[in-house]
Amino acid sequence: MLQKLWHKKWMVLCLLLGCILLIATVVSFPLYRNAAFDRMIKDEFDDYVSEKGLWPAMNSMLMIAKNDREGKSIVKLENAMAEMDGAMGVTERERIYYYSLSKAPLQSTWNRTDLGTDGLRLGFMSNLEKHAKLLSGEMYSESGYSEDGAFEVVVSQDCLVNNNLLVGETFEFTGLADANKNMIRIKIVGVFAEEDSTDFYWQVKPSDMGIVALMKEDLFREYFLGENAYHYSITCQFFNLFEYDDITAEKVDQLMEKTVYYTEESAIRKTMSKPEYRELLENYLSKRTRIEAALFILQVPVLILLCAFLFMISGQMYDMERNEISVMKSRGGSSSQMFRLYLYQSTFLTLLGAAAGIPLGTVFCRLLGSTQNFLEFNVRRQLNIKFDQSVWSYAIAAAVGCVLIMTIPALKHSRLTIVKLKQSNALRKRSWWEKIFLDVILLGISLYGYYNFSKNQGSLAASVMEGQTLDPLLYLSSSLFIVGMGLLFLRLQPLVIHLIYLMGKRFWKPASYASFMENVKNGRKQQFIMLFMILTISLGMYHAVVARTILQNAKENTEYLEPVDIVIKEVWNKVPSSTDNPTDTATAAYMEPDYSRFASMPGVEAYTKVFLDERGSVKTVDKTQSACTILGIHTKEYGTITNLEAELTGKPYREYLNELAVAPDGVLLSANFRDVFGYKVGDSVEYKDRYGTIIQAKIVDFFDYWPGYEPTSITVGADGTAQKQNNLLVIANFATIQKNLGIYPYEIWAKLEPGATSDAIYEWIKEKNIHVVKYADKAAAMRQVVQDPLLQGTNGVLTMGFIVTIILCAVGYLIYWIMSIRSREMIFGVLRACGMHKGELFHMLINEQIFSGVLSIFAGIGIGTLTSRMFVPMLQTAYAASNQVLPMKLIVNQTDMNRLYLVIAGVMALCLLTLITLVFKMNVTKALKLGEE
């Protein structure tokens, strides 16, 4: 067997390559999926932490135990919590107990009468000593008792001040006694505060412990829990924090299941509050299905091509071995023996393939995870690659697939005998697909899909918003379209060639004549390789366009929605009003912070003040109020930091700004004022800011797009259906707004110098100690687009698909040609003997290449372009439905196409080179001898 393999080493190498690529591609899918999902979860939690400053991975419980017999319910709850903690399967970070007794009156032993309180709650917080610092005094002692036997307690600053307590003072609870009816006494030994205010231990802030005195935990437990609990009413709070870094994709299901169980079904459900992380995980889960489906769907065509490649090469190999097989059969080798031989051979190759394919899969996975753009990689953020059971099962499935694909053709061949071989050689008939008009059927299905989807493009967007996945049918339609067009081409190609042949039948030179004959008569043999070429090239193109378009549109969209590099909105203080009525009214005056400070922002090219009120309203023609956004701008400055492509608005952006600049009382309105409400240029319009100050204005112009403006948005209603809504935007002169509203908080919009980063601005804000209520960073938003798992995964899969496709295309074409020439060497010998010179032979082969190869390549390019034009807009909708504002642009990146053409040209050149060497090295007598043997 090994000897046999060595004999056909090139074919075997191709098969091996196919196996390796197939296994690597299949394995990279779960690897990437798992790693990307881990990252997605971490991002969800990280974002939550950085946005809200809270620890989301936490379960909390609250129970008030009144007259609890023997403290059983508390023990039960504590046990339940410990059990839950274990059941979640995630590493615990911190378990916090915060128990307190109900408020009880007390009096100072110093007989002070100026106490600010009528009572305190005595309690404890577990591990307080590790997280608190003391502002004055000291922590309760190891024993927990003071010298005179009172409980030592610490209180918060608020508690101390509000209640007018003193450190060192001892109090007696008048309404609280221990089990032996002895009065409880406490001594305040210290005042505590958070050691670190960002420490997530502080689920209950010291500032919220206005009437709480904290004592040592074991003393509290000794005196008030267990058997003694019966006498008290105890508020028990548990906070169970766990490490969200530890929540990996495979733990999510268990975590979710247990969370649902404990919060909705278990005995302790009523004590539990809805955990924050549940929404994060639900968010993740809904994205997960979508991403998983999208990635899978995108990978299917590449997998099919890989299978086709393996099938083609192994078929070719068996074809070469046909004679051997039929001889062996005629000498008595049984079909099952033959089959077993090939089964061993395939298994051997597959094992080799797996040995190389699985490591390659991890490389693929890393590449997937570092995809920055189509065919661009950036390894800044590494994925954490893990091999779990799912990876191995995928690998095994792929390996079994490989073996089957490589062995099935043998099944067909192992039944051959010499007689049947001769017979099958004589068969010349139409392919089965031509007879059943498969091409027409496939085209019909895909065009029906295309028609349906394009008719319902709007609802397609809505369905994505409602949480549905990328419709597999949509992607399937495009794939079917490619296959259908490819088959149609195969049906037509022989007719065209035949027509050309007939046109010049008499005049063809012998070489052309022979190549025409070869193609007319034997063309069907080449159908598979031609279809393969068409599919690889058109899919490659299609994938390139899909990837570029989706990402580029998402980027441009973000670019549009984030009109400037940096937006800063400072906290403005109100002028202390003489009347004690600090409500938000239009009359409330603000103190304008020092605007000149912004001049020192580093790396800023230009900046301007912008008034933005997203809760304004406008009186529409039918006298009702509609919500609108009001934007007040300094036209000149605004124009230098923002820009808009003229093709979006129909006329240069600057013209709008100029129109507004010359009309102090003018406004620019979004086009829906005109289209929905029937306003005209020159009409007057009345709009109000959020506090109701009315401003009268004249309409200067309408615009379709404005930097950052979304004409319509889709929102998902309470019933889960998506609704489209018009957004109104009013743009006025900043000066006019300020004249009407007075001094009012504005935003600073800044444009960075080329090469400057937002980090410097961020540092500057910290350094200047500017309190910010809004900070928008375009670069960060752009980074998020690139790192979005769906986009990145799509890009990655398409990029990998493109690379694999190109390899297959190159290798498949080369091997096919070499084999096809080798198998006809004898005929070439005959032709040479008949006096055909090498040039003519070469000419003949080139002709053949043109008829099948070059034509298929052009067909592939044509079909790829057509498919992109038809289907990419819809795919794009499916991806970006939620926030695609700009009209979709089809991005055909010339570099990608050039790369593709370059590879094709390289392959063709290599083919030519092989042809030249084969033809010129060919020894006529040897070639003829070949026939004799």
Q: Give the H/E segment covering residue 797.
A: helix 789-822
From the list 222-230, 409-417, 503-511, 697-705, the region that binds other proteins by CB under 8 A is: 503-511
Shorter beta-carbon distance to other proteins: residue 509 or 574: 509
Site string for other proteins, 44-63 (x = CB under 8 A): --------------------
From the list 57-65, 76-84, 422-430, 881-889, the region that binds other proteins by CB under 8 A is: 422-430
From the list 208-216, 455-463, 658-666, 822-830, the region that binds other proteins by CB under 8 A is: 822-830
Interaction of residue 924 with other proteins, rule CB under 8 A: yes
Interaction of residue 430 with other proteins, rule CB under 8 A: no
Interaction of residue 517 with other proteins, rule CB under 8 A: yes
Contact 695, 686 (CB under 8 A): yes
Closest listed residue to residue 309, CA positions, set 402, 392, 189 = 402
Closest listed residue to residue 85, CA positions, set 258, 280, 337, 292 = 258
Interaction of residue 428 with other proteins, rule CB under 8 A: yes
Shorter beta-carbon distance to other proteins: residue 428 or 435: 428
Q: What is the CA radius of gyration of the chain?
A: 38
Cα of first residue to Cα of last residue in the chain, in angstroms, is 23
Interaction of residue 510 with other proteins, rule CB under 8 A: yes
Using the rule CB under 8 A, which residue among 514, 550, 618, 761 binds other proteins? 514
Closest listed residue to residue 566, CA positions, set 760, 767, 776, 755 = 776
Shorter beta-carbon distance to other proteins: residue 472 or 931: 931
The whole-angstrom separation of Cα 77 and Cα 80 is: 5
Shorter beta-carbon distance to other proteins: residue 133 or 505: 505
Contact 29, 300 (CB under 8 A): no
CA distances from 138 to 129, 141, 150, 267 (A): 10, 8, 15, 41
Smallest gap from Cβ 837 to other proteins, in A, equals 5
Shorter beta-carbon distance to other proteins: residue 516 or 656: 516
For residue 762, give both structure tokens. 């961020």
Angle formed by the axes of helices 838-849 and 894-921, to 10°? 150
Shorter beta-carbon distance to other proteins: residue 510 or 862: 510
Site string for other proteins, 456-495 (x = CB under 8 A): ----------------------------------------
For residue 141, give both structure tokens. 């002692």
From the list 72-80, 302-310, 509-517, 755-763, the region that binds other proteins by CB under 8 A is: 509-517
772 CB-side CA count, 13 A: 20
Interaction of residue 320 with other proteins, rule CB under 8 A: no
* H runs (alpha helix) in 53-162: 72-87, 128-131, 157-162
Closest listed residue to residue 24, CA positions, set 352, 252, 328, 357 = 357
Interaction of residue 524 with other proteins, rule CB under 8 A: no
For residue 447, give both structure tokens. 């065009």
137-166 residues in contact with other proteins (CB under 8 A) are none
Strands 666-670, 712-716: pairing kind: unpaired
Contact 249, 430 (CB under 8 A): no
Interaction of residue 834 with other proteins, rule CB under 8 A: yes
For residue 446, give both structure tokens. 């895909």
Shorter beta-carbon distance to other proteins: residue 431 or 740: 431
From the list 171-179, 402-410, 475-483, 923-931, the region that binds other proteins by CB under 8 A is: 923-931
Interaction of residue 429 with other proteins, rule CB under 8 A: no
Using the rule CB under 8 A, which residue among 636, 837, 869, 889 binds other proteins? 837
Q: Find the angle CA(559)-CA(564)-CA(568) to the nearest 5 degrees.
A: 130
Interaction of residue 782 with other proteins, rule CB under 8 A: no
Q: What are phi and psi of 773, to 5 degrees?
A: -95, -20
Number of residues that bind other proteins (CB under 8 A): 28
CA 784 distance to own-chain centroid: 9
Using the rule CB under 8 A, which residue among 293, 473, 500, 520 binds other proteins? 520
Smallest gap from Cβ 908 to other proteins, in A, equals 23
From the list 24-32, 138-146, 834-842, 909-917, the region that binds other proteins by CB under 8 A is: 834-842
Place of tokens 């004898």: 826
Shorter beta-carbon distance to other proteins: residue 582 or 931: 931
Interaction of residue 827 with other proteins, rule CB under 8 A: yes
Q: Helix, strand, coil proportions of the chain in percent (round to 5)?
A: 60, 15, 25
Using the rule CB under 8 A, which residue among 38, 518, 689, 747 binds other proteins? 518
Q: What are phi and psi of 142, to 5 degrees?
A: -60, -40
Place of tokens 């937002």: 758
Handedness of CA 114, 116, 119, 124 (dihedral sign): negative
From the list 131-139, 376-384, 387-395, 517-525, the region that binds other proteins by CB under 8 A is: 517-525
Q: Is 600 exposed, middle or buried (0-12, 13-18, 19+ CB in 10 A)?
A: exposed
Interaction of residue 575 with other proteins, rule CB under 8 A: no
Residues facing 151 on adjacent strands:
145, 186
Interaction of residue 831 with other proteins, rule CB under 8 A: yes
Ranges assigned E (strand) in 768-903? 772-777
Using the rule CB under 8 A, which residue among 425, 579, 581, 894 binds other proteins? 425
Interaction of residue 921 with other proteins, rule CB under 8 A: no
* H runs (alpha helix) in 562-616: none
Using the rule CB under 8 A, which residue among 379, 400, 503, 833 binds other proteins? 833
Interaction of residue 521 with other proteins, rule CB under 8 A: yes
Using the rule CB under 8 A, which residue among 135, 356, 830, 866 binds other proteins? 830
Place of tokens 């912008």: 610
Smallest gap from Cβ 857 to other proteins, in A, equals 23
Using the rule CB under 8 A, which residue among 836, 870, 897, 910 binds other proteins? 836
Exposure string over 239-278, b if 16+ CB within 10 A, otherwise e: bbbbebeebbbeebeebbebbeebbeebebeebbeebbbb
From the list 98-106, 244-252, 423-431, 630-638, the region that binds other proteins by CB under 8 A is: 423-431
Smallest gap from Cβ 419 to other proteins, in A, equals 14
Interaction of residue 513 with other proteins, rule CB under 8 A: yes
The contact set with other proteins (CB under 8 A) reads 425-426, 428, 508-510, 513-514, 517-518, 520-522, 826-827, 830-837, 924-925, 928, 931-932
